Structure 1
Amino acid sequence: MKNTTYLLHTLTQQDIPPLIALSDSVGWDYDEAELRTVLSAGSMFGHKDEDGQLVSCSAIICYEDQLASIGMVIVHDSCRGYGLGRELMQACLSFVSKETTIMLVSTPAGKPLYESLGFTTAEPLHKCLRDHFSPPTIPSMNADDPVILPMQLEDVAAIIELDGQAIGSKRSLFVQARMKQAASCLVAKDAAGKTVGYGFSIQGPVNLIIGPLVAPDFATAIRIFCRLTQGHTGKLRVDVPNGQAAFLDFLEQNGFTKVSEPPVMIANANQLPQRNGTYYGIAAQIFG
């Protein structure tokens, strides 16, 4: 076998079934709904062999303020060692300008490749899992505590603003695509009716995923989190950005296990965009 037998393609919705199979081959649990969100918010590339079988993939999601996220970089075991991973990354890198900060969450196997392409480690991410979760008793609310409510269409613009301040870039297209996918969408509103936080839950093939989760303070983050998980009896996952020690302590005290701390890596910049400390749970590693 030679590299010339593998051609790089731009992938579409028609490639979702083989993308799911490729994801399964490395133990990742992407499903149709997740991949439709990825393709709605970003672009995907992949190699196909002479028979048209998909053997690799990668995705890049571009946000509004010169920020992009790369994820789902997969090469099938049978096709490793032919430079396909590098070609996938180069396709993603060439998709944006050199002024765009690019972030990704690295696996141990992928880190040497990413470093060779100029990526450096910015900070760790905290991946937390629990098989079953019973929300703890939440302290009684004070009169000025934000109330947690189901999201309405009129909240979308405020959510996009809050999300942009939390991650360091607006990502309108992604937020709206994720909202359509979500099992539950909640907002936190202050006494004046202003939206000050929000959270989504996504039901994946294995876990109920909590994120994005944006809140003005730890107590509000807990309230949103517990409402999003209320009544759920299966597995749970939340990936917590660095700097949220109190939230990580809360998860540990309630039976979550931190299973890994994968590095968040960046290129075309020395650090991640400025964030305001309100980001408690990321959407998914592919989205940053």
Structure 2
Amino acid sequence: MNLQTKFQMSKFNENDIPGLIRLSASVGWDYDLDEVSTVLAVGMIFGHKNEKDEIISSAAIIPYEGNLASIGMVIVNESYRGYKLGKELTVRCVNAVPSDKTIMLIATPEGKPLYEKLGFHSVSYVHKYINENYIPSIIKEEGYKIEPYSESDFSSIVHIDYLAIGAERRVFLEARIKQAEEVVVLKDSTGKVIGFGMSIIGSDNCILGPIVAKNEQMAKLIINYLAKEKNGKLRIDIPHGQTGISSFLESTGFIKVSQPPIMIKNSNQLPARNQTLYSIAAQIFG
């Protein structure tokens, strides 16, 4: 019997969060209540359940305003692999957005062959870094200052994030700020917002991102500010090409652990970006 026909696909909701967390843990991933809640608030999660009503697979699609969407959280329980559940879910995510919308994902080694068969192709990479003992740096504020985020900064954050990502992420940023443990903004001498960063406390580590800044020095200042008083493991995923930030991270104790590819569909390239993105929010959010 083809077991693929035995499992019906569902669109998950808040009642499914505990099962999604268990599925994530079953493959060694660290999605927790807050992270899954944010995904559901800004996107859609599809998946399958077995005859015991246990969640055995998942995939999420995050549609942003404009010409970009992101796929992530593609998980299939090890006991149910080989029945094309991941393929079925990825196709469902692709079909959930208009056919002319650029879809991106950050692929695992196991998932990359599947995505290539579905028409995705690699365009770049992210570099995943982990730190278990951050070494603070002394970085001068030269004509700008860092301060805690306030609601009056939100429109400015949405705008500079748009220029960094190539799509407006207002709904996502609103949800992510609520989830964040700390949000800071960088302002110039006139009070204009020229950068921002967030730290997100997860079950396994503290994620630093997104981090958007006008230049490398400003990005270092934000990273150092967010990281210097944190306890436990830190994680940051930086876009390919930010070599100065890579060197800075390694000088503060970060170790590069992987370099997964960014893959896209429905386009030859990502939307235009202005090179001010120094750390992504998380791989699921692009």
* TM-score, structure 1 normalization: 0.97
Q: Does 1:194 align with 2:192?
A: yes
Q: What residue is the counterpart of 2:130 in the other structure? A: 129
Q: What residue is the counterpart of 1:168 in the other structure? A: 166
Q: CA deviation at 1:50?
A: 2.0
Aligned equivalent of 1:244, options 219, 238, 242: 242
Q: CA deviation at 1:229?
A: 1.3
Q: CA deviation at 1:51?
A: 2.2
Q: What per-residue deviation string (whole Å, max 9, x for no partner) do you get for residues 78-110 of structure 1?
A: 111111011101110110111100000000110
Query: Contact 2:67 / 2:271 at 8 angstroms: preserved in 1?
Result: no
Q: Does 1:185 align with 2:183?
A: yes
Supply the RMSD in Å over aligned alpha carbons.
0.9
Q: Does 1:281 align with 2:279?
A: yes
Structure 1 Cα separation of the partners of residues 32 and 52 of structure 2: 24
Using the aligned pairs only, state the percent identity.
49
Structure 2 Cα separation of the partners of residues 141 and 79 of structure 1: 53
Structure 2 Cα separation of the partners of residues 162 and 88 of structure 1: 33
Q: CA deviation at 1:58?
A: 0.3
- Unmatched tracts of structure 1, length 5 or more: none
Structure 1 Cα separation of the partners of residues 95 and 49 of structure 2: 20
Q: Does 1:141 align with 2:141?
A: yes
Instruction: Return the letter of the residue paired with 1:4.
Output: T
Q: CA deviation at 1:141?
A: 3.1
Q: What residue is the counterpart of 2:68 in the other structure? A: 67
Q: What residue is the counterpart of 2:206 in the other structure? A: 208
Structure 1 Cα separation of the partners of residues 240 and 169 of structure 2: 20
Q: What residue is the counterpart of 1:3 in the other structure? A: 4
Structure 1 Cα separation of the partners of residues 193 and 274 of structure 2: 16
Query: Contact 2:56 / 2:76 at 8 angstroms: preserved in 1?
Result: yes
Aligned to 1:147, the other structure's residue is in SS state strand
Q: What per-residue deviation string (whole Å, max 9, x for no partner) do you get for residues 113-157 of structure 1?
A: 00000000010110000111131122x333x2x200000000001
Structure 2 Cα separation of the partners of residues 36 and 125 of structure 1: 24
Structure 2 Cα separation of the partners of residues 51 and 205 of structure 1: 27
Instruction: Return the letter of the residue paired with 1:226.
Output: N
Q: What residue is the counterpart of 1:113 in the other structure? A: 114
Runs of 4+ in 1 over 4 A off after TM superposition: none
Q: CA deviation at 1:255?
A: 1.4
Q: What residue is the counterpart of 1:83 in the other structure? A: 84
Structure 1 Cα separation of the partners of residues 82 and 28 of structure 2: 20
Instruction: Return the letter of the residue paired with 1:240.
Output: I
Aligned to 2:163, the other structure's residue is in SS state helix
- Unmatched tracts of structure 2, length 5 or more: none
Q: Does 1:54 align with 2:52?
A: no
